[in-house]
Each structure stands twice: as C-alpha cells, then as structure tokens.
Amino acid sequence: MTNRLFNVYRRSIALTTTAAAAILAAGLINSVPAQAASPPVRHPRILVHLNLAALQQPENLTLEPDGSADLTFAFAAQVARVTRHGQVSLIAQLPIPRNGHPPLAPPGIKAVVAGIVRASDGTLYVNLSTGTAKDTGVWRIRPGTAPARIAALPPTSFGNGLALDPAGRQLYVADSANQVIWRIPLRTGVATVWARGSALRSLRNVPAPGVNGIKVSDGAVWAANTARGTLLRIPITRGQKAGDPQVITAGLPGIDDFSFASRDTILAAINFSSKVALIHTDGRHRIVLTASDGLSNPTATAVCGHVLEVTSAAYFTKKDPNVLIAQLDR
C-alpha cells in the first residue's frame, strides 16, 4: 500500500464526511433495500448500546465459556467484558504512550487495540499498535496481573486481526499497514512474516485496508481483504509454511473480521455497508443481517453454540456502537 493510500484510509477511519463520500465513489457501498434477519440467523436484538463519546467502539471480540464477550475498544486502548445480560466492565487498559502515532489511526489517537483471542486457559491476547518500538506488538492479559507484551512487532505495523491455532501454540497477526501476516510461536514470542503478496494488499485509490480479519481452521489460515472484498484460504504446509492463497469468495467489499459457524460456513462482518454475510466455503454468499437489524458498521462476529454475537463500531455512521446478539440455527 502506498503512503497516499495510507493517508486516504487514515481519513476514512477518522469518520469524516469526505471519507464516506470517497468510499461511495469507490463503489464500496451499494444502495440496497433494508432487509430483516434471514435464516440461519433469527431474532436479532441489541444486547448493549455502547458509549461513542467514551470511545467504546468495539473492533473485535472473543467469547468466554459462559457466553460473555471480551471486546477491544480500539481507540480507547481498552479491553472490556460484556455479559449475556449486557453488563459492561473494564478488564484491562493497555498503554497509551505520549508520543504514540500508530499507522492508519485517526488524528489524535495514540494507541489502537484491535484483534483479540482467548486461549483455553483463559488467557487473552490482543494486538496493540502505537507507532513506538516499546509498545507495539501482542499483549497478554491474565486475571490479577498487569498486561504484558509477549511479542514485539515493528512500530510501522498495524496489528488488526489476531488468530490462535487450535493447538494453542501459534498466533497469526494480520498487519494492515505492512500488508503481511505475522506468525508468532507462543513458546518464543518471536514474530516472523508468514505470508505476503498481492492477495493481502489493498487496491490503489481504494480507502480501505487489505488484509484484516483472520482465523485458523481446517489446516489453513483464513483472511479477509477489506479493499478487495475477498475471503482467502492460505494452507499451512509442512514446516508451518504458507501455501498459495486461494480466493474462497469475492464481491464483499468492506469485509472485516469473521467467525466459523460450522466447518463449511462463515459469518463475516461487512463494515462499510452495515451487513453480516453468510459465506459457504464453496464460494456462495448471501446477506443475513443488515442495518435494519441494528448493525452500525460491524467489525467482527463470534459464534457460541446457537448464539451469534456481532460488534458494531459506528466508525462511519457515528451512531450507536453496540453488541448485537441473535439465535443461530446450526
């Protein structure tokens, strides 16, 4: 991505009217009739309305065994928990350096917390981007202890999506600034570039990042490219190397983070147009939630049993960041 494109995206994520117009001009938002929830999603409702003025704009989430959601409030550099009853509590405050200047962040924002995952022992890992060598990287959060950085990333990076492999040994970071995927063994905490290439990059003059959401499933790393509107499958080959990226589906500009509803179905947040798409691994996709259901620039989804949760950050609408909950037929 060029510096010019970084500047365009910086303006877009800053929620300016000019950026919204640029996105429309780029064809990233299509004018479509409002839709209600459609199968397999039923009975959506807003679990909690969050506070925009307090920078409670959820960028990502992971679920606790009891169904509570652990959220990252991106621009506040905070991690919070939302219970199934909609009660919000602060879990951790990540560092906000005085000289912070993370890539892609809006003016005045000195730290961004984005992706979050939960290990089987309850440990949380989050991406922190500050533009400083001291703080940028993956941080660990455990009850009763202060957050600690367990892996450094370059200050030029913007750690967006974060994934943990099923064995709980490897972290994968989608770096939207450098447009690569980092791999971090928890045993060593040493980050190396795992995947790069055109499939992970943005498009010239499109005000959106390239690689963004990320998950590990079925022997592969799955990644969303927001600007290209694609969902990718990158096989994990022998020696844990990255295979050739496969485009699973296209035509979903604005795709953000996602979750697996089953081995062959995925629920993806479509940020700019305030939708959730159901994607089949054979490439078929359709919309199952829209703004009429309460979405306001959704950023991520999570599935627990027959429950779907969706975070909305209101980056462009500037209205009603929230967590939506719905029933999911599986």
Distance CA 328, CA 246 (A): 28
How confident is the model at residue 261, as a pLDDT?
96
How confident is the model at residue 204, as a pLDDT?
86
Tell me what the pLDDT averaged over the chain comes to.
91
Q: What is the pLDDT of residues 108-127, one digit of tens each?
A: 999 999 999 999 999 999 99
How confident is the model at residue 207, as a pLDDT?
78
Q: What is the pLDDT of residues 205-247, one digit of tens each?
A: 887 899 999 999 999 999 999 999 999 999 999 999 999 999 9
Please give the model's pTM, rounded to 2 decimal places.
Answer: 0.90
Distance CA 247, CA 268 (A): 15
Task: Enumerate the β-bridge partners of residue 231.
Answer: 224, 249
Residue 302's Cβ-count burial label (10 Å; 0-12, 13-18, 19+) is buried
Rounded to 5°, the CA angle 309-315-316 comes to 120
How confident is the model at residue 205, as a pLDDT?
82
Distance CA 242, CA 231 (A): 16
Q: What is the pLDDT of residues 51-81, one digit of tens each?
A: 999 999 999 999 999 999 999 999 999 999 9
How confident is the model at residue 292, as a pLDDT?
97
The interaxial angle of helices 3-13 and 17-25, nearest 10 deg, is 120
How confident is the model at residue 309, as a pLDDT?
98
Rounded to 5°, the CA angle 325-327-330 comes to 135
How confident is the model at residue 67, as a pLDDT?
94
Segment 24-32 mean pLDDT: 38
Distance CA 73, CA 148 (A): 18
The rounded radius of gyration (Å) of the Cα atoms in the chain is: 18
- Strand bridging mode 112-118 / 88-93: unpaired
- Return the structure tokens found at 161: 């999506």
Q: Does residue 3 register a pLDDT over 60? A: no
Are 33 and 218 within 8 A, CB to CB? no
Which single residue is written with the structure tokens 């995925």?
Answer: 266
Rounded to 5°, the CA angle 9-92-306 comes to 80
How confident is the model at residue 330, as a pLDDT?
83
Q: What are phi and psi of 54, to 5 degrees?
A: -90, 15
Biggest distance spanned by C-alpha atoms of the chain: 50
Are 43 and 37 within 8 A, CB to CB? yes
Q: Which helix (H) or strand (E) holds 13?
A: helix 3-13
Q: What is the pLDDT of residues 267-284, one digit of tens each?
A: 999 999 999 999 999 999
Query: What confidence category does residue 200 fall into, taking pLDDT thresholds of 50, 70 and 90?
Result: very high
Q: Does residue 4 register a pLDDT over 90? A: no
How confident is the model at residue 27, as a pLDDT?
37
Domains and CATH numbers, the chain: 3-328 (2.120.10.30)
